[in-house]
Amino acid sequence: MSREIDVERARQDTPGCEHVLHLNNAGASLAPRPVLDAVVGHLELEARIGGYEAADRERAAVERVYDAAARLLNCGRDEIAVVENATRAWDMAFYSLTFRPGDRILTTMAEYASNYIAYLQVAQRTGAAVEVIDSDEQGQLSVDALRRAIDSRVKLISITHVPTNGGLVNPAAAVGRVAREAGIPYLLDACQSVGQMPVDVGTIGCDMLSATGRKYLRGPRGTGFLYVRRGLLDRLEPPFLDLHAATWVARDRFEIRPDARRFENWETYYAGKIGLGVAIEYALGWGIPAIGERVSGLADRLRAALGELPGVTVRDLGAERCGIVTFTMAGLDAADIKRAMAAQSINVTTSSAASTRLDMDARGLDRVVRASVHYYNTDEEVERFCRALRALARRGPGGPGQ
Ligand SMILES: Cc1ncc(COP(=O)(O)O)c(C=O)c1O
């Protein structure tokens, strides 16, 4: 058992808690004061003394993001690239890999649309095949099915840890064991898991991992990062290079830098980078295991409360579930529910079939409501949200008070 989160202090650190009941933490969490101060402070410095000059002066603060991300993931700072979002991080890894006709890419039912679109594009270009591993009876990736699918033509295992459309946590470490035994590169989309549960690349055994700043890490929007295992770095040629990723050493020659910053580019969001470093340090200050316990406990209580509401069906899959809670309500459209909650300053979002088509189509779902909790949410907030839903169910989408 890790130490408990001081929720009152967490809320005092979070200006947004005074204004909204925020259950859209898997969208973008409310930033804590230290992150806000770091970002705004750097923007103000840029305005005062100049952007290049501000970056020079704050070089140490910029560099701290690499140490923070390395501590968070348990890797080396040279294995981290900081980019503008999780999609770009993931793309830089994925499009660095080469595929030939007949090569196989193994993935999951829970795959995120942007990743799957990239698989399809690469499959069309190269003749590689994209294959979706079945889920087990609990709805998570079946590790047995994955093991059975391995052969010499499998060139990549690429899975989503926590999908965009639910509380499912795929068995990332068990997948890592299969990948390692078979010597197959393993790319993990940890966009939705990083910051809400321990994600240790050594324990998981992935070779590449993508993450974002604004979700469970509570960092600034427009920030993300990529981990690439040191042993793989010099075998991955990034799909784009610039004068930061490589050096033009002679008229007809360039050299790609040896570390993971080969996946970055020169111009970057310095205030965001500093803010991301502060956000990661802030999360580490609370302790990721403590955050994980608080988030999953609160989400379990929310699922249980939703289960009591008439007409509500909780849609989360998996043996292990996280802070993301999805549901539908009979006779009510997810978008109407979101709107009705917004009118009461309750932030939730919806997730549509186009974001996780394999899973949503298989379950006959078009759109679900997504309520995602963080450690600064309270049991009272969960109760208030459920009361608002109960009232909405009574009066229907067209009723008063919306
Ligand atoms: C599973 C998953 N992967 C990747 C992404 C993309 O992250 P970003 O918007 O930071 O590029 C998301 C965003 O919701 C996601 O849910």
pLDDT value, residue 198? 98
pLDDT digits over 311-346, tens only?
999 999 999 999 999 999 999 999 999 999 999 999
Measured from CB, residues less than 6 Å from any atom of ligand 1 are 85-87, 112, 160, 163-164, 189, 191-192, 212, 224
C-alpha 298/C-alpha 45 separation (Å) is 39
Distances (CA, A) of 251 to 240, 247, 258: 19, 11, 20
Tell me, what's the pLDDT at 61?
Answer: 97
* Percentages (nearest 5) of helix, strand, coil residues in the chain: 45, 20, 40
Query: What distance in angstroms lies between residue 29's CA and the mean position of ligand 1's atoms?
Result: 14
Query: How remote is the CA of residue 96 from the centroid of ligand 1, in Å?
Result: 19
Could you give the CA distance from residue 24 to residue 351 in angstroms, rounded to a whole number? 11
- 162 CA: nearest ligand 1 atom: 1
Nearest CA to ligand 1 atom 14: 164
Model pLDDT, residue 401? 45
353 CA to centre of ligand 1 in angstroms = 15
Give CA–CA dist 11/26, Å, rounded: 18
Other CB atoms within 10 A of residue 259 CB = 19
Q: How far is the CA of 255 from the centre of ligand 1 (A)?
A: 31
Taking the CA of residue 189 as reference, the ligand 1 atom at the shortest distance is 3
Percent of the chain topping pLDDT 90: 97
Q: Measured in angstroms, how far is the CA atom of residue 109 from the centroid of ligand 1?
A: 16
- CA 331 to centroid of ligand 1, rounded, Å: 29
Of the pLDDT bands very low, low, confident and very high (cuts 50, 70, 90), residue 397 is low
**What CA–CA distance (Å, rounded) separates 369 from 327?**
5
Does residue 86 sit in helix, strand or coil? helix
Measured in Å, residue 168 CA sits from the centre of ligand 1 at 15
Helix axes 270-286, 33-49, angle to 10 degrees: 160
pLDDT-based confidence at residue 162 (cuts at 50, 70, 90)? very high
**Tokens at residue 60, please?**
């140490």
Confidence of residue 398 (pLDDT cuts 50, 70, 90): low
The tens digit of pLDDT for each residue in 364-391 reads: 999 999 999 999 999 999 999 999 999 9
pLDDT band for 396, please (50, 70, 90 cuts).
Answer: confident
Going by CA atoms, what residue is nearest to atom 3 of ligand 1? 191
**Per-residue tokens: 266:** 């020169």
pLDDT tens-digit map of 274-307:
999 999 999 999 999 999 999 999 999 999 999 9
At residue 78, does pLDDT exceed 80?
Answer: yes
pLDDT at residue 196 above 60? Answer: yes
The answer on pLDDT for 402 being more than 70 is no
**Mean pLDDT of all residues in 189-212:** 98
- CA–CA distance from 291 to each of 183, 215, 276 (Å)? 33, 14, 18
From 161, 164, 351, 357, the mutation candidate for ligand 1 (largest count of ligand atoms within 8 A of CB) is: 164
Percent of the chain with pLDDT over 70: 98
**How confident is the model at residue 399, as a pLDDT?**
57
* Ligand 1 probe mutation, 94, 114, 326, most atoms within 8 A of CB: 114
Asked if 129 and 104 count as a contact pair (C-beta separation under 8 A), the reply is yes
Distance 123 CA to ligand 1 centre (A): 21
Q: What is the mean pLDDT of residues 343-354?
A: 98
pLDDT at 3: 79
Q: Whose CA is closest to atom 8 on ligand 1?
A: 86
Q: pTM value?
A: 0.97
